[in-house]
Protein backbone atom coordinates (compact mmCIF):
# COMPACT_ATOMS: atom_id res chain seq x y z
CA UNK A 1 0.00 0.00 0.00
CA UNK A 2 1.34 3.41 -0.97
CA UNK A 3 1.83 6.11 1.61
CA UNK A 4 -0.31 9.22 1.27
CA UNK A 5 1.28 12.25 -0.34
CA UNK A 6 2.79 14.73 2.11
CA UNK A 7 0.81 17.36 0.22
CA UNK A 8 -2.58 15.67 0.60
CA UNK A 9 -3.57 17.91 3.51
CA UNK A 10 -2.45 21.23 1.97
CA UNK A 11 -6.06 22.29 1.24
CA UNK A 12 -7.03 21.53 4.84
CA UNK A 13 -4.18 23.71 6.17
CA UNK A 14 -4.88 26.74 3.96
CA UNK A 15 -7.27 29.40 5.17
CA UNK A 16 -10.81 29.34 3.81
CA UNK A 17 -11.12 33.13 3.97
CA UNK A 18 -8.74 36.00 3.31
CA UNK A 19 -10.61 37.97 5.97
CA UNK A 20 -9.53 35.33 8.51
CA UNK A 21 -5.86 36.25 7.97
CA UNK A 22 -5.41 38.46 11.02
CA UNK A 23 -1.65 38.33 11.49
CA UNK A 24 0.57 41.28 12.33
CA UNK A 25 1.43 43.83 9.63
CA UNK A 26 4.49 45.24 11.38
CA UNK A 27 6.92 44.43 14.14
CA UNK A 28 8.98 41.38 14.92
CA UNK A 29 7.26 38.01 15.18
CA UNK A 30 8.80 34.97 16.81
CA UNK A 31 7.46 31.72 15.41
CA UNK A 32 6.85 28.82 17.79
CA UNK A 33 9.02 25.72 17.64
CA UNK A 34 6.33 23.60 15.97
CA UNK A 35 6.64 25.90 12.92
CA UNK A 36 10.31 26.78 12.95
CA UNK A 37 12.52 24.36 14.84
CA UNK A 38 15.93 25.41 13.53
CA UNK A 39 17.55 28.54 12.24
CA UNK A 40 16.00 31.96 12.36
CA UNK A 41 12.73 32.11 14.32
CA UNK A 42 12.22 35.88 14.61
CA UNK A 43 11.05 37.83 11.57
CA UNK A 44 10.40 41.52 10.99
CA UNK A 45 7.17 41.45 8.99
CA UNK A 46 7.80 45.03 7.89
CA UNK A 47 10.86 43.83 5.95
CA UNK A 48 9.68 42.28 2.65
CA UNK A 49 12.37 39.59 2.58
CA UNK A 50 11.86 38.50 6.18
CA UNK A 51 8.10 38.60 5.73
CA UNK A 52 8.33 36.27 2.70
CA UNK A 53 10.59 33.89 4.61
CA UNK A 54 8.14 33.75 7.52
CA UNK A 55 5.10 33.35 5.25
CA UNK A 56 6.78 30.48 3.41
CA UNK A 57 7.42 28.70 6.71
CA UNK A 58 3.90 29.26 8.03
CA UNK A 59 2.23 28.20 4.77
CA UNK A 60 4.32 25.04 4.39
CA UNK A 61 4.61 23.97 8.03
CA UNK A 62 1.55 25.38 9.76
CA UNK A 63 -2.01 24.26 10.25
CA UNK A 64 -4.95 26.52 9.41
CA UNK A 65 -4.91 28.16 12.87
CA UNK A 66 -1.23 29.09 12.39
CA UNK A 67 -1.88 30.48 8.92
CA UNK A 68 -4.72 32.63 10.16
CA UNK A 69 -2.78 33.79 13.23
CA UNK A 70 0.52 34.72 11.52
CA UNK A 71 -0.49 35.84 8.00
CA UNK A 72 -2.10 39.19 7.19
CA UNK A 73 -4.10 39.68 4.01
CA UNK A 74 -2.32 42.89 2.92
CA UNK A 75 1.14 41.44 3.51
CA UNK A 76 0.17 38.23 1.69
CA UNK A 77 -0.86 40.24 -1.38
CA UNK A 78 2.47 42.08 -1.31
CA UNK A 79 4.49 38.90 -0.84
CA UNK A 80 2.55 36.57 -3.15
CA UNK A 81 4.27 37.33 -6.48
CA UNK A 82 7.56 36.08 -5.04
CA UNK A 83 6.02 33.46 -2.73
CA UNK A 84 4.31 32.07 -5.82
CA UNK A 85 7.80 31.22 -7.13
CA UNK A 86 9.10 29.92 -3.78
CA UNK A 87 6.28 27.54 -2.84
CA UNK A 88 5.68 24.11 -4.28
CA UNK A 89 2.91 23.52 -6.82
CA UNK A 90 0.48 22.01 -4.28
CA UNK A 91 0.58 25.19 -2.20
CA UNK A 92 0.34 27.56 -5.15
CA UNK A 93 -2.56 25.64 -6.72
CA UNK A 94 -4.46 25.43 -3.42
CA UNK A 95 -4.08 29.10 -2.53
CA UNK A 96 -4.66 30.45 -6.04
CA UNK A 97 -7.71 28.26 -6.67
CA UNK A 98 -9.18 29.31 -3.35
CA UNK A 99 -8.26 32.99 -3.77
CA UNK A 100 -8.09 34.03 -7.45
CA UNK A 101 -6.84 37.50 -6.47
CA UNK A 102 -3.50 35.86 -5.60
CA UNK A 103 -3.18 34.47 -9.13
CA UNK A 104 -4.02 37.90 -10.53
CA UNK A 105 -1.37 39.59 -8.38
CA UNK A 106 1.25 37.02 -9.43
CA UNK A 107 0.38 37.40 -13.13
CA UNK A 108 0.53 41.19 -12.94
CA UNK A 109 3.95 41.11 -11.26
CA UNK A 110 5.43 38.39 -13.48
CA UNK A 111 6.95 40.63 -16.20
CA UNK A 112 8.72 42.86 -13.66
CA UNK A 113 10.00 39.84 -11.70
CA UNK A 114 11.30 38.19 -14.86
CA UNK A 115 13.13 41.39 -15.82
CA UNK A 116 14.59 41.63 -12.32
CA UNK A 117 15.79 38.03 -12.47
CA UNK A 118 17.31 38.61 -15.91
CA UNK A 119 19.22 41.66 -14.63
CA UNK A 120 20.47 39.67 -11.64
CA UNK A 121 21.69 36.84 -13.91
CA UNK A 122 23.42 39.35 -16.16
CA UNK A 123 25.14 40.96 -13.16
CA UNK A 124 26.35 37.55 -11.96
CA UNK A 125 27.67 36.71 -15.42
CA UNK A 126 29.42 40.08 -15.64
CA UNK A 127 31.16 39.45 -12.30
CA UNK A 128 32.22 35.97 -13.42
CA UNK A 129 33.59 37.36 -16.68
CA UNK A 130 35.52 40.07 -14.82
CA UNK A 131 37.20 37.49 -12.56
Residues 73-119: tens digit of each pLDDT = 999 999 999 999 999 999 999 999 999 999 999 999 888 888 888 88
In 62-88, where does DSSP find H-type helix? 64-70, 73-86
Inter-residue contact 10 to 91 (CB < 8 Å): yes
C-alpha to C-alpha distance for 119 and 101, rounded to whole angstroms: 28
User: Does some domain include residue 54?
Assistant: yes
User: Does some domain include residue 2?
Assistant: no
Range of the domain at 109: 10-130
Residues in the chain: 131
User: Does some domain include residue 107?
Assistant: yes
The per-residue pLDDT for range 9-64, each reduced to its tens digit, is: 888 999 999 999 999 999 999 999 999 988 889 999 999 999 999 999 999 999 99
Please choose, from the candidates 13, 15, 21, 61, the residue with its C-alpha nearest in 3D space to the C-alpha of residue 41: 61
User: Does some domain include residue 29?
Assistant: yes
Does residue 70 register a pLDDT over 80? yes
User: Does some domain include residue 71?
Assistant: yes
User: Does some domain include residue 95?
Assistant: yes
User: Does some domain include residue 3?
Assistant: no
User: Does some domain include residue 5?
Assistant: no
pTM of the model: 0.88
C-alpha to C-alpha distance for 114 and 51, rounded to whole angstroms: 21
In the chain, how many domains are there? 1
Inter-residue contact 66 to 12 (CB < 8 Å): no
Amino acid sequence: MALPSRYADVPDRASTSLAALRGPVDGVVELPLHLCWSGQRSFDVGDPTECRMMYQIVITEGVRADVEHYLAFDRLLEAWPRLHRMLGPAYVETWEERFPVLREVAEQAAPALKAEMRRAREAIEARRSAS
